[in-house]
Chains A and B, each alone.
Chain A
Amino acid sequence: MNTLNRRDALRLLGLSTLGVAALAACAPDASGGGAPQGDTAAKTFGFTSWSLNEEAQKAAVQAIVDDYAKKNGVTITPTSFPYNEYLNQVTLKLRGNQLTGAIQLDVAWLGAMAAMGKLRDLGPVAGKGGYTDVALASGQVGGKQLGLPWTTGSIGLIANTELLEKAGVDGMPATVEEFEAALRKIAKLDGVVPYAAATKAAQLKDILPWMRTFGSPLLDGEEITVGDEPSVAAVEWYKKLFDAKLIAPDVDRFDARALFAQGKAAFYDDAIIARGVVESQAPDKTLTTKMAPLARPVLKAGDTPQALLWGHVIAVVEGEGADAAAEFASFATSDTATVASFFEKVKLPPTTTAGLADPKVAGDTFTTEWTEKITKTASANPFWRYAGYAQIETAIAEQVQAVLVGDASAKDALAKAAETAKGLQK
């Protein structure tokens, strides 16, 4: 029988150490620094975008790319990665200097990408775009305009007006108290989840706007305020809804959409894109006409409704083709005819004042209502500025879930979450 004696074990250990050292030597520079490479005035650049391969959007995005390339005599090389792997792939390729040109980014990722120091400041280009203030803010990190806003929306509450009517709810609830009262009325309907709020850890970050509603800033300067009195009150309220079966266990965004599409949820949280998704899943093809966006109820009249900013930006990697890529980013995000046509095809709202005023956009009641009621007061998640923002959100979500299942009190759980989150502020 082959056994591993001490000598062999030591040899193995030594060889492993040598192996690790060799691998570390081969690994790319972790700093991600280095001077930009290539000719910035080159007329050939890449465009990296997850939308280029998504069934619902790829034709519309490709049309923008082709249109710009034809009009300006440039060559654009498209690259795409699946959304769920996108950030990892872009990070790896950016570190390895394999990525040039324009990159589509989720607004939540901009902070992490900015930390790599390879994105161009698009401030001078942005000034000419006519973007709305909230849209411009979604592309800024540390005072620099690192992304031009392509679509700016928010994650907010959507109601099924038919169910509200059936339950005898008059008008949209404006305060938390009214909202809870409406949920209790809806609970009397058979087989309906009053509020398909996120209760799975993977999506429980949706509670952050509720914490803000109750008065917690989440982050004050560099101090994490999760665990303060308002955030504890928000989680206790969430737990109360959970115990009263006004929100359901084990729900994430996909489940909530499915429930809503089946007419089995009266309220749920989603991005503005919800209408298209629900339409594709709903057996009742008139459901979209019964969907109504509503401002998140406030704690007391006069408070500002809270919503999470959501959207996409186009950033430009400093280096080869950066000048032309910046022009392309500006064209794709601010040319009125282009953004209006893009909206018509994919229903993602434009980011410029002129784009929003275009009849194709302004004539769409759902979008204009959403923009007015939800996006207008939406704000970014303050943790996005940290590269480890996703882990911070997870730390909070896991502790909130512990509260929901009765494993911890809101105060203890959030104190623990804050402790973990503090270690991830870098």
Chain B
Amino acid sequence: MTATLSASMPRARTRRGRRVNRSRAAAWIAVAVIGFFGLAPVYWLVVTALTPDEKAFSFPPSLIPTEITFEHFTRLAENRQLFGYLLNSVIVSVITAVLSVLVSAYMAYAFSKFRYRGRRSLMHLVLASQLFPQALLLVTLYAVFSASGLLGSYTALILSFTTFTLPLCVWMLKGIFDTVPSTLMEAAAIDGASRWRTLHTIALPLAAPGLIAAGLFAFVRAWNDFIFALTLADPARQTLPPGLVHTYLGEFQTAWPDLMAASFVVSLPVIAAFMFLQRYLVGGLTAGAVKG
């Protein structure tokens, strides 16, 4: 019996080892496949940006560049108009992010920590705004901004972007405030802190990862938007996505290598922001997922 047991243990260990190896291999394959789909477009973008114009259109396309040029990046550096678009993107995206966080933090706190009539209906109303197709909202917002004289301004862009980001930010932050124990608020109240002070000195610092996540979400949403930026802003205030299309996509041809070089450069600030804030982002997105 003992002999049988001792003989079967290494076999079991081997089987377990094989199982671990197999699942590890499966995990690596999954990572490789997902990585390929995630990184291949970026690779292609960089390769095209570095390929001379006449080679960029070669058929069949070459996966590995045989000739490299930096002329598209040089041309990009010389294009003053693109810097204008970049500046507009930064202005609009930063203000949208700050405004979204500011408004959604107060709304989320009110939804999470106060009990009042119509609270749930209001929460659902906020969410319901996400149900409308954006094209419908675009036409409506266009009419509203036109009537109010805001059409073509930064304000029109910031308000419209904030409108879209608010619902998700509010629900994200509400989940985070839900996880902040009410006993902390009660303790603060006992110590004489006003509700205002409790929110600013206790709740908001505890929700910092969520605030950063919400801010990043709003920033990226504003940074990437095309159709609202094209429609609601005048040419002097247009952001990068419509600016790039304007500059490189024409009726007859597209300057793909220049477009790729510009896309690569303008994505760097977002990549940098993500790398710098990723630990907050992951923490913030999942913080409200499970209540403590």
Contacts and interface: CB of A to CB of B under 8 A. Distances in A.
Interface of A: 4, 8, 11-12, 15-16, 19-20, 23, 26-28, 50-51, 53-56, 79-85, 89, 92, 96, 98, 254-255, 257-259, 261-262, 264, 271, 273, 276-277, 280-283
A19 B132 contact: yes
Contacts of A89: 230-231
A76 to B, nearest CB: 14
A281 B54 contact: yes
Contact of A82 (B125, B246, B255): B246
6 contacts: A8-B120, A8-B121, A28-B143, A80-B235, A85-B245, A262-B59
Given A56-B250, A82-B242, A15 B128 contact: yes
Nearest to B141: A26
Given A11-B124, A12-B128, A280-B253, A262 B57 contact: yes
A64 to B, nearest CB: 17
Q: Which residue, of B137, B227, B253, has the highest number of chain A Cβ atoms within 10 A?
A: B253
B128 A19 contact: yes
A12 B143 contact: no
Interface in B139-197: 139-140, 142-144, 146, 151
Given A96-B142, A277-B252, A15 B121 contact: yes
Interface of B: 53-55, 57-59, 120-121, 124-125, 127-129, 131-132, 136-137, 139-140, 142-144, 146, 151, 227, 230-231, 235, 242, 245-247, 249-255
A283 B53 CA distance: 9
B246 A84 contact: no
B132 A20 contact: yes
A273 B252 contact: yes
Nearest to A86: B251
Contacts of B129: 19
Contacts of B125: 12, 15, 19
Given A28-B142, A80-B235, A258 B59 contact: yes
Contact of A53 (B59, B124, B137, B247): B247
Nearest to B124: A12
A96 B146 contact: yes
Contacts of A261: 57
A23 B57 contact: no
Contact of A23 (B136, B247, B249): B136
A280 B77 CA distance: 22
B57 A258 contact: yes
Contacts of B53: 280-281
B230 A85 contact: yes
B143 A26 contact: yes
Contacts of A254: 253-254
Q: Which residue, of B131, B144, B230, B250, has the highest number of chain A Cβ atoms within 10 A?
A: B250
